[in-house]
């Protein structure tokens, strides 16, 4: 099976190079990996003490930040290496200031694993949530390097728990400790005979709770809001926008809207703007304009949505009409904002929990969208009660970082 796995990895490396000729994203995936070993050689000296954290993409990076920050506090002389698998993570956070070296993770061949680990020579390794790369894990185990899974989550449908999943189950035995999000994940792992498991919770709650301690003021958002009830639409996709544009164009409510689309390509932004009948301004074109005169503010940039949520009276979080599903609802929740989402949220524990608690509302069409948002706009008491459910939910689920740091010593 190991031979077959390595063969597949080898074939994939060639196929990806071909696909990259036609896909800009895949071009980043391929070209970004060409300089990994060179980067590690330049930034990590043989006598450096290091800690390696691997995140699949941007979400996992954000999830790992509370742990990374604590590791830097506890081990100030160690260099931090952060690796990404996906361009959507690396390209956004390649210039972060918390790591000493940020790189793509080379494909999981035996030679890549040996060379990467030799250059990084970490004293401990953290994988965030998932991604179980067989050769990397085997090499870490061979060298007796402590390896931890942070905020892990498991489901019965995964290969580990199938009768034919023995090869992948072996990979799990390489971990020093599993820090998991819930009891069901713990039960699944323990049923495999692994006892090095603790339910620590999800470190994302610690990260979003810490946002409240930061300066979230944005002057131009304050000017646009102008003390008016404001709906913030975050990470929206075209399917979300079809419903939202209809509502925006038809509503007579005295309310303002901020839209931060998931995709900020100019042609899609222009299409969104042209579909709106209300007075609309773009972030990229706001200079010299009286922002308080506009009804809709389209944020065609990245990196400020979290702070914008602090100005929301109501939040709509996109992605709930596509795959893999709704985007991060914890950021608006930490500000005590009632949340509206689409129908695809069942794989996201926090969304499922908040819908059950009635701090978050799932809508399926234009009619239910109008009913929910109109109610939240007009009924201040309902809005405040719903927002309080969200903020309390965040507070009750913090503490994963402290549990993990205590356990790893």
The pLDDT tens digits of the residues spanning 282-308 come to: 999 999 999 999 999 999 998 899 999
Which pLDDT belongs to residue 2?
A: 84
Are 127 and 163 in the same domain? yes
- Domain C-terminal end among 201, 229, 247: 201
Residue 178 host element (H or E): strand 177-180
Determine, yes or no, domain membership for 343: yes
**Geometric angle at alpha carbon 265, from 264 and 269, rounded to 5°:** 70
104-152 pLDDT, tens digit each: 999 999 999 999 999 999 999 999 998 899 999 999 999 999 999 999 9
177 and 266, same domain (yes or no): no
Whether the CB-CB separation of 92 and 302 falls below 8 Å is answered with yes
Q: Structure tokens of 281?
A: 């301004």
Does residue 200 carry a pLDDT above 90? yes
Q: Mean pLDDT, to the nearest integer, of 211-215?
A: 94
Q: Are 102 and 185 within one domain?
A: yes
Residue percentage of the chain with pLDDT more than 90 = 91
Residue 322 belongs to some domain of the structure: yes
Domain at 109, CATH number = 3.40.50.11720
Please indicate, yes or no, whether residues 230 and 319 belong to a single structural domain of this protein.
yes
Residue 193: band (very low, low, confident or very high) from pLDDT cuts 50, 70, 90: very high
At residue 130, the pLDDT reads: 85
- Is 405 part of any domain? no
Instruction: Region of 193 please: left (phi>0), alpha (psi -120 to 50) or beta.
Output: left
- Which residues on adjacent β-strands are paired with residue 231? 257, 314
Is residue 382 scored above 80 in pLDDT? yes
Residue 221 lies in a domain: yes
Distance from the first to the final alpha carbon of the chain: 36
Does one domain contain both 246 and 136?
Answer: no
What angle in degrees, to the nearest 10, is found between the helix axes of 400-408 and 58-74?
A: 50
With H, G, I as helix, E, B as strand and everything else as coil, classify residue 39: helix
HSE at residue 69, side-chain half, CA atoms within 13 A, is 13
- Confirm whether 170 is domain-assigned: yes
Query: Quick one: average pLDDT of 38-60?
Result: 96
The pLDDT tens digits of the residues spanning 322-373 come to 987 999 999 999 999 999 999 999 988 899 999 999 999 999 999 999 999 9
Sheet containing strand 79-84, strands side by side? 101-104, 79-84, 50-55, 124-128, 147-152, 177-180, 197-199
End-of-domain residue from the set 201, 228, 247: 201
Is 184 in the same domain as 244? Answer: no
Q: Do 65 and 196 share a structural domain?
A: yes
Q: Is 249 exposed, middle or buried (0-12, 13-18, 19+ CB in 10 A)?
A: exposed
In this structure, the answer to whether residues 220 and 186 fall within a common structural domain is no
| Interval 66-83: pLDDT, tens | 999 999 999 999 999 999
How many angstroms separate the CA atoms of 21 and 39, rounded?
Answer: 24
Give the DSSP letter of residue 208: H
What is the per-residue pLDDT for 302? 87
Would you name the residues annotated as active-site residues? Answer: 60
Same domain, 228 and 320: yes
Q: In this predicted structure, what is the pLDDT of residue 136?
A: 98
pLDDT band at 49 (very low <50, low <70, confident <90, very high): very high
Q: In 191-219, which positions are buried (b, 16+ CB within 10 angstroms) versus exposed (e)?
A: eeebeebebbbbbbbbbbbebeeeebeee
* Predicted local distance difference test score (pLDDT) of residue 400: 96
Is 80 exceeded by the pLDDT of residue 89? yes
Residue 168 lies in a domain: yes
Q: In what order do the strands lie in the sheet with 256-261?
A: 280-282, 296-298, 256-261, 230-236, 314-317, 339-341, 360-362
Helix (H) or strand (E) holding 368: helix 366-378
pLDDT of residue 323: 83
In a domain, 8, yes or no: no
242-291: per-residue pLDDT in tens? 999 999 999 999 999 999 999 999 999 999 999 999 999 999 999 999 99
Q: What confidence score (pLDDT) does residue 131 get?
A: 87
Model pLDDT, residue 398: 96
Contact 255, 230 (CB under 8 A): yes
Does residue 6 sit within a domain? no
CATH code assigned at 239: 3.40.50.2000
CA neighbours closer than 13 Å in the CB half-sphere of residue 81: 29
Structural domain including 115 reads 23-201
- Residue 310 shares a structural domain with residue 178: no
Question: How many domains is the chain partitioned into structurally?
Answer: 2
Round the average pLDDT of the chain to a whole number and report it. Answer: 95
Q: Residues 163-188: pLDDT tens digits?
A: 889 989 999 999 999 999 999 999 99
Whether residue 409 has pLDDT greater than 80: no
Which of 201, 230, 246 corresponds to the end of one domain?
Answer: 201
Give the pLDDT of residue 314: 98
User: Are 337 and 312 within 8 A, CB to CB?
Assistant: yes
Is residue 362 within 8 A of residue 341, CB to CB? The reply is yes
- How far is C-alpha 254 from the geometric centre of its chain's CA atoms? 33
C-alpha to C-alpha distance for 1 and 135, rounded to whole angstroms: 12
User: Are both 265 and 222 inside the same structural domain?
Assistant: yes
Greater confidence, 6 or 236? Answer: 236
125/174 same-domain check: yes
Cβ contacts of 214 within 8 Å, gap of 6 or more = none
What does the alpha-carbon distance between residue 303 and residue 301 come to, in Å, rounded to a whole number? Answer: 7
């Amino acid at each position: 099976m190991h031979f077959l796995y390595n063969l597949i990895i080898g074939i994939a490396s060639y196929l990806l190079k071909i696909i990259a000729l036609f896909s800009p994203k895949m071009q980043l995936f391929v070209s970004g990996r060409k300089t990994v070993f060179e980067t590690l050689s330049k930034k990590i000296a043989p006598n450096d003490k290091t800690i390696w954290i691997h995140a699949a993409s941007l979400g996992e990076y954000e999830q790992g930040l509370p742990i990374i920050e604590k590791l830097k506090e506890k081990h100030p002389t160690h260099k931090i290496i952060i690796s990404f698998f996906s361009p959507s993570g690396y390209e956004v956070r390649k210039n972060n200031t918390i790591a000493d070296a940020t790189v793509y993770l080379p494909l999981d061949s035996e030679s890549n694993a040996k060379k990467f680990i030799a250059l990084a020579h970490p004293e401990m390794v953290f994988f965030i949530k998932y991604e179980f790369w067989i050769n990397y894990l085997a090499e870490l185990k061979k060298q007796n390097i402590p390896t931890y899974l942070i905020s892990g989550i498991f489901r019965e449908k995964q290969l580990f728990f199938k009768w034919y999943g023995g090869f992948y189950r072996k990979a799990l035995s390489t971990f020093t400790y599993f820090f998991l999000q819930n009891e069901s994940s713990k039960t699944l792992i323990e049923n495999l005979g692994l006892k090095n498991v603790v339910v620590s919770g999800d470190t994302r709650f610690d990260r979003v709770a810490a946002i409240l301690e930061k300066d979230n003021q944005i002057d131009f958002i304050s000017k646009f809001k102008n003390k008016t009830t404001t709906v913030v639409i975050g990470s929206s996709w075209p399917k979300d926008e079809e419903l939202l544009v209809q509502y925006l164009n038809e509503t007579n409510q005295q309310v303002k809207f901020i839209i931060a689309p998931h995709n900020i390509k100019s042609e899609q932004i222009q299409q969104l703007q042209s579909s709106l009948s209300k007075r609309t301004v773009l972030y990229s074109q706001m200079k010299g304009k009286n922002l308080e005169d506009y009804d809709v503010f389209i944020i065609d940039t990245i990196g400020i949505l979290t702070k914008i949520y602090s100005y929301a009276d109501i939040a709509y979080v996109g992605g709930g009409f596509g795959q893999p599903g709704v985007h991060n609802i914890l950021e608006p929740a930490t500000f005590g904002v009632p949340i509206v989402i689409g129908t695809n949220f069942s794989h996201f524990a926090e969304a499922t929990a908040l819908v059950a608690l009635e701090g978050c509302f799932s809508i399926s069409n234009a009619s239910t969208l109008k009913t929910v948002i109109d109610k939240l706009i007009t009924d201040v008491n309902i809005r405040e009660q719903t927002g309080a459910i969200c903020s309390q939910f965040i507070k009750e689920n913090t503490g994963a970082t402290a549990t993990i740091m205590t356990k790893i010593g």
